[in-house]
Each structure stands twice: as structure tokens, then as C-alpha cells.
Amino acid sequence: MLKLDKIVIVFFCFSLGGCYSIGSQRLGKDQDEYSVSIIESNKRQTLQNLIRLRYADTPGLLDTTQLISGYQFQQNAFLGVASDTFPIRPNGGVSTQLQQNPTFTFQPVTGDAYAHSFLSPLSPASLLPLAMGGLPIDILLQLSAQSINSMSNNRPFSRRNGDVDNNTIYNTDEFFELIHDLRLLQASGLLEIQLQQFPKFKGKPSGASHVFLNIYPTSNPNLEKITQITKKLLNFSPNYKRMEVVYGSGTPNPGEINILSRSMLSILGQVAYQINIPEDEFSAGGTSMDLDYEEKPLIKIKYGRKKIENSFVSIYYDKYYYWIDRKDFKSKLAFTITQMLLELSKTTQPPGAIVTIPVTK
């Protein structure tokens, strides 16, 4: 009889285990899994928009605005005694059930939010501080700058052969020389970018951000030569200790550097313009073949009929898989910077259409 009492106590204690909270135990795991899932989804959405632009298809954004994950845990235990057996033996059982019911809320980016995210140029005061955080300034400017002073990075993805006079001088060689030298100075610690918040002045908005660029002197003869070339290209004035970077093009005012920054649509379009497309897609008329592009693509995107496992990001579009190789560090870095610029371009706008998707298992 004493043995039977012990069994009853064990099952009773086990049944009380269904009262414990699973929230604290699931929090870390769910946070990691959902975070990775949202990041990977955003990567696929960006690559999808690049491919769609290459095919002159409409890009779009769908933001995840809310995620609610609910759980229901049930645990039952029973114990009985069979009276028709001798000796009398207890019998019982245990059943547990865990249900997960996540709900995702998506908001399509439309209206003013769409215009701001895709069509508004990124501010130099928002762009250059990214280089302060360590992002390579050459890749950053190659993606986001249409021109610096009179040096052009203009390779419009909609341009065809014969659209522009071949004798027109764009100073693109000087642009790429400049961003290459800026990267060398950045890596050497000689390039300084300062972000300054000015108080409210009459006729100016409160809290306007201004960004300044300074190049330190050096005793290294090789770096000193690069410094002098960079200052010449940027029209550095000896009358100013630092130069303010402003939005604009052409010859700048004294003490200023003009950067004509791009919108996200232009940034994505420039990358899409460099994507190689299967030959049968050209012959079918789905996209243009007039690339005439001598530089290596900033983001190398591959394609094939079969899905590649362990890629950095991949999508399926028009009977082909497109992906970025996980071992292609340069392409991954440029793609990641593009993702950051896309997040930078987003704004808080009144919500439009809301799509809520409950998931049951």
C-alpha cells in the first residue's frame, strides 16, 4: 500500500508541472528564430526588387509591422487501479500538448511612404555618417552618389546605345579615382567625417543636420600624394579647415562639396542594370540586352535552373533562380550596404492597408 501511495504522489506532482510558465523559456529561442526569419525575408525582398527592375517590372515593399506569438500548453495525467486483477496493480498515463499561434501583420508601402522610400534622394547628412561607422566609403558613394561636384557616376539603367552623344565628358574616371583615394584615406585614419546638429535659426528648421569632411595631414610621402590629389578633386580651399558636404551638383560654393545623392529607386536601378540575364530571356523580349557596361558589377548575381543550397540570398523569378554566392564577400558587402540604405530611406507615415495573417498549426 505504501508503494501505491508513492506512485500517486509522483503522478500528482507531475501533473502540477503543467502550471509552469513557458514564456521565459521560449523568449530567447523565438527572438532568435523570428529575427533571422525577418532578416532573410527582407534580403529576398530586396533581391526580388532588383530582378524585377531588371525586367522592367514593378518593385514593391511589404513591411512586417507586428508579430504576436501565442502559446497554449496542456498537460494531463491520470492514475487508476484495476480491481479485476490480483494482485491489484495501478495503471495510468500522461499526455501533453503545445500549440503555437503566431500572427503576422504586414503593411504595404504605398502613397507618401512609397514616394519617400523610393523616390526621395537620400540626404548627404544621412549617408556619410555611415562611413563614420566603418562602412567602406567607396562602395557607399558608388551606390548612393550620382555625382560629386562635376565628377559623374551617371550610368542610367534605362540608357540605350545612341541615346547620348559619345563625345560627352562625364568625368567618370575622376569619380572612381576619387572614391578609391577616399577609401585609402579612410583606411589610414586620415579621413574625418563630422556630423553637427545646429540650433534653430531664423528661416531654418530646428535641429538641421550638417555634415563636414576633413583630411588630416600626414608625413607619409605616398599618403601625402593621395591627400593632395583628393583635395584637388574636391576643390579643398586652404581658407577652410573643413568642407561642408551639401546636396547639389556642379561647381560648389567656397567651403562646400556638392554630392548629388540618389533615391533608392535609382540605387536599385543601377545595381539591376548590371545583372546578367539568361540569353533566352533576351530573345523572348523580356528585358533589354543593351548593357554596354565595362566595369565589373558591384553586386554579382548568378542565375540557373536549379536551386543552389547555402547561398547568401536567392529568389525564384520567371523560371530561373537568382542568387548571391555566400563566398563572394564583395557582393555580400555591397548588398548589405544596399539593405542599410533601404532601411535609412524608410519613414514613419500614417498606415495604409494592413494585411494580418494568423498562422495555425
Q: Where are the alpha helices (DSSP H) in the chain?
A: 2-16, 23-54, 111-114, 124-127, 129-132, 137-144, 172-187, 221-233, 264-273, 279-283, 329-345
Grid cell 608625413 — which residue?
219
pLDDT tens profile 245-300: 999 988 899 999 999 999 999 999 989 988 888 887 766 666 665 454 456 789 99
- Please answer whether residues 95 and 29 qualify as being in contact, where contact means their C-beta atoms are separated by less than 8 angstroms: no
The C-alpha cell at 354 is: 494592413
Residue of 361 and 222 predicted with greater confidence: 222
Q: Which of 173, 169, 179, 154 is nearest to 230 (CA)?
A: 179
Grid cell 491489484 — which residue?
88
What per-residue confidence (pLDDT) applies to 163? 46
Out of 18-22, 45-49, 324-328, least confident range? 18-22
Q: Which of 257, 37, 22 is nearest to 147 (CA)?
A: 257
Per cent of the chain over pLDDT 90 is 39
- The reported pTM is 0.74
Is pLDDT of 345 > 60?
yes
Q: pLDDT class for 318, splitting at 50, 70, 90?
A: confident
Residue of 99 and 11 predicted with greater confidence: 99
pLDDT tens profile 199-223: 665 555 555 689 999 999 999 999 9
Q: Mean pLDDT of all residues in the chain?
A: 77
What per-residue confidence (pLDDT) applies to 285? 60
Distances (CA, A) of 80 to 12, 22, 227, 237: 12, 29, 88, 93
Q: Which of 128, 165, 159 is nearest to 145 (CA)?
A: 128
> Mean pLDDT across the stretch 52-74?
73
